[in-house]
Amino acid sequence: MTEHEQPPVDLKVEVAHPARMYDYYLGGKDNYEADRVAAEAALAAAPELRAIARENRAFLHRVVRHLVNAGVRQFLDLGAGLPTQRNVHEVAQEIAPETRVVYVDNDPIVLVHARALLSGRGRGRTAVVQADVRDTEAIIADERVRELIDFSEPLAVMLVSVLQFVPDREPQDIVAPLRDAMPSGGYLVVSHPTQDFRTSQVNEVAGAYNRAKAPAVARRKSEIERVFDGFELLEPGIVQTPLWRPDGEVTPDLDLIWMYGAVGRKP
């Protein structure tokens, strides 16, 4: 099989997928009937999901800009999901074209969309690897990852709105190998839904995801703090995503944004 001949991929469009549901919240077109049905069930319980998705995306953009301006030139984006609304490599390479980005996801549909992504801007400095975020040791050792990511140099590991979809593992156990593999000056970026407030809506949304065969769990701030063991939190710490170094006036109703975001630096 040549570089341009790709194997067929079973998209399993009859089963809802969190990445495609997220795409639907953002107004994208890369979703199917099963995704829309599941997303509408979640939106019926919590219409604010669209605002949460937008603010999460804005948080990612602000973090990437901050880290690139701080000198980071390599990003490992785990659980990257579908390419949508300015990806990490687009934001980073706009500032520093030499920045290297590796996206990792375990769903084959991400690879399908990544082929189009890699055919455009950033080709050669951006790669996509199919792997499971539960096995970060394997990701670190993956030759395809190491073609672009040098773990002896500072890097940023992105876990943006993904750890909630690993309900059967302690998130700090997933992060620990990544922390140990990165040098001083490396960064960890996390956003995660919380059950610290609007608990009934959060539980209803979790139920909608469970019915869609995409189990999810919201965690409390104290649980998210443990993810950053071994890191020094950048100001303002673990906060609702619109409050992490906003570009201007914070406009959303914060009571509706039950998503925390934070960035930690390995000393």
User: What CATH number is attached to the domain comprising 24?
Assistant: 3.40.50.150
Least confident of 60-74, 104-118, 145-159, 198-212: 104-118
Question: Residue length, the chain?
Answer: 267
3-class state of residue 20 by DSSP: helix
More confident residue, 259 or 14: 259
Question: In terms of residue numbers, what domain contains 99?
Answer: 18-266
Rounded to 5 degrees, what are φ and ψ at 108?
-60, -30
More confident residue, 208 or 10: 208
Three-class SS of 64-133: HHHHHHCCCCEEEEECCCCCCCCCHHHHHHHHCCCCEEEEEECCHHHHHHHHHHHCCCCECCEEEEECCC
Q: Answer whether residue 6 is part of any domain.
A: no
Judge contact between 193 and 202, C-beta under 8 A.
yes
What is the total count of domains within the chain?
A: 1
The helix/strand count (H/E) of the chain reads as 10, 8
Residue type, position 82, single letter: L
* Lookup: tokens for 252: 């959303």
Q: Answer whether residue 99 is part of any domain.
A: yes
Q: Answer whether residue 126 is part of any domain.
A: yes
Judge contact between 115 and 6, C-beta under 8 A.
yes
Residue type, position 10, single letter: D
Judge contact between 66 and 245, C-beta under 8 A.
yes
Q: Answer whether residue 82 is part of any domain.
A: yes
**Does residue 142 have a pLDDT over 90?**
yes
What would the mean pLDDT of 13-19 be, rounded to a whole number? Answer: 79
pLDDT at 114: 67
pLDDT at 262: 98
What would the mean pLDDT of 98-115 be, rounded to a whole number? Answer: 82
pLDDT digits (tens, 9 = 90+) for 113-134: 766 666 555 545 888 898 999 9
Residue type, position 39, single letter: A
Q: Answer whether residue 121 is part of any domain.
A: yes
Q: Answer whether residue 3 is part of any domain.
A: no
Q: Answer whether residue 63 is part of any domain.
A: yes
Location of structure tokens 């074209």: 97
* Lookup: tokens for 47: 């219409």
**Does residue 3 have a pLDDT over 60?**
no
What is the reported pTM? 0.90
pLDDT at 44: 92
* Lookup: tokens for 256: 């509706």
Q: Answer whether residue 258 is part of any domain.
A: yes
Location of structure tokens 């890369």: 30
pLDDT at 47: 93
* Confidence band for 260, pLDDT divided at 50, 70 and 90: very high
